[in-house]
Chains A and B, each alone.
Chain A
């Protein structure tokens, strides 16, 4: 009798219910990420597959990243010339544009492009391989699917994202220069000189580091979604949507965390306006 009346599992409180699913996903994602990171160190090292992914992610994204960068630089110059014109500070346009680009816009916009192009492709490809049993087939042939499919993608993203961000930086600055100097008649000397005095190397490296971390994480999310896809074509579609949406949210969340951490150290203003 005692056994029958004893322990019924405690029902979860109501406020926990909406949190349940996200927590489960976060837990699974963390496990998946942990296993994938460990798989990076495991032999065999798949250099060939990494090169294929690099070609797709880095080389294949150059055009769209360049185009996005060109327009971003142009519009940023337009807005900054207008806003700084309000208090006669046009001489600072170049430096302001480049600091915004290097620290924030270039890594974030590049990663948005990566999520759209690379994240969706990774989720679709892995999802299709999952539902057509190709991932099972890899396992039955004693090939670790994490090592074979996920590692080349996440490593390649961590390398490709900063490279593309640097390209974005360069092209966006060119676009900004074009608008500021040729369309808005700013002096090229002022534009460039202030960049040299005010923009520091660490502004750029900070942005590149951020791009690398974000590229790595969003590709990891995409691989996780694809890897766990189930239920045919519909399931692959859902996985791809979740990969892109989750990736976009992750970009901004990591952006904040990374920036907060990188700015928390002692700040030493560099060049400054003096002299």
Chain B
């Protein structure tokens, strides 16, 4: 009896290398992320987390290796193919990256209005905006401007905008950086809810260990451009890998 074939991963990063101005940032990343799971990529600042994420979005081209998302090679896609591909992706930025010249409602509606392939009427768009804002537990904020919202609320609006086109994959870039503990908790809940309510594959880039162990199905620890440890939170917690031990000790205390 051979074991059943493993399902294809939603995201498959293979031997990814990237340098900037001769300085190596990623030095051979290998990582698989399964459909419907939440993977947290955990690492210190400057470890190459964000660069990895931008490769998954197709914002950067790798020097070497490739990124396969949903069976398609992102690294070799043309501009047109990338545009179509990105419909299946949503990204929540560290700084939320909301357009400050637009209201919250217009921000969330933006991807729909830009790519209105299904010909939604303005009324349907507004309904959809309301529905997605409700998913992230926001109500009656459509007329506000991003500057009028708190950091946590802006993150929520950012997620609402990311999921407005019902993506299969949502990427979060340091969602809890710079937030107070209570807001961090609520952003964690937001990520868990999004996965439960929308059954999306989530990738979270973070250095927040507490948050990572709260939300992750799998954790990958990145150091100096390489994945040094990868597994369930339990496995990572009991690792023998020295960097991971050291990194986690800052949170769990030294043993």
Contact = CB atoms under 8 A, between A and B. Distances in A.
A139 B110 CA distance: 12
B82 A133 contact: no
B95 A142 contact: no
Interface stretch (B27-35, B86-94, B219-227): B86-94
Interface of A: 132-134, 136-137, 139-144
Interface residues of B, number: 24
Interface of B is mostly: mixed
B97 A143 contact: no
B111 interface: yes
B86 A141 contact: yes
B83 A137 contact: no
Nearest to B89: A140
B97 A136 contact: yes
Contacts of B110: 141
A49 to B, nearest CB: 11
27 contacts: A132-B100, A133-B94, A133-B95, A133-B97, A134-B99, A134-B100, A136-B93, A137-B91, A137-B93, A137-B97, A139-B57, A139-B59, A140-B86, A140-B90, A140-B91, A141-B110, A141-B114, A142-B82, A142-B83, A142-B84, A142-B87, A142-B111, A142-B114, A143-B111, A143-B114, A144-B79, A144-B83
B59 A136 contact: yes
Nearest to B114: A143
Contacts of A132: 95, 97, 100
A141 B111 contact: yes
Contact of A134 (B84, B97, B114): B97
A132 B98 CA distance: 9
Given A134-B98, A139-B59, 9 more contacts: A132-B97, A134-B97, A136-B59, A136-B93, A136-B97, A140-B57, A141-B110, A142-B111, A143-B114
Most chain B beta-carbon contacts within 10 A, residue among A132, A134, A137 = A137
B144 interface: no
Nearest to A148: B114
B115 interface: yes
A137 B110 CA distance: 11
Contacts of B82: 142
Nearest to B111: A141
Contacts of A140: 57, 59, 86, 89-91
A143 B116 CA distance: 12
A143 B59 CA distance: 12
A61 B98 CA distance: 29
A97 to B, nearest CB: 42
- The winner among B82, B84, B89, B97 for most chain A CB atoms within 10 A is B97
A142 B89 CA distance: 10
Contact of A142 (B54, B86, B99, B161): B86
Contacts of B83: 142, 144
A142 B112 CA distance: 11
A136 B162 CA distance: 13
Contacts of B79: 144
A41 B216 CA distance: 45
Interface in B46-83: 54, 57, 59, 79, 82-83
Nearest to A128: B100
A140 B83 CA distance: 8
Contact of B93 (A133, A143, A144): A133
Nearest to A132: B95
Contacts of A137: 91, 93, 97-99
A139 to B, nearest CB: 6
A79 B48 CA distance: 64
A13 to B, nearest CB: 21
Contacts of A133: 93-95, 97
A136 B50 CA distance: 12
A140 B54 CA distance: 9
A168 B59 CA distance: 44
Contacts of B93: 133, 136-137
B233 to A, nearest CB: 28
Nearest to B112: A141
A130 to B, nearest CB: 11
Nearest to B80: A142
Interface string B128-169: 000000000000000000000000000000000100000000
Nearest to B86: A142
B21 to A, nearest CB: 12
A142 B98 CA distance: 15
A211 to B, nearest CB: 28
A142 B115 contact: yes
Which 7 residue pairs spanning A and B have beta carbons closest together? A137-B97, A133-B97, A142-B83, A142-B86, A140-B91, A141-B111, A133-B93
A141 B84 CA distance: 10
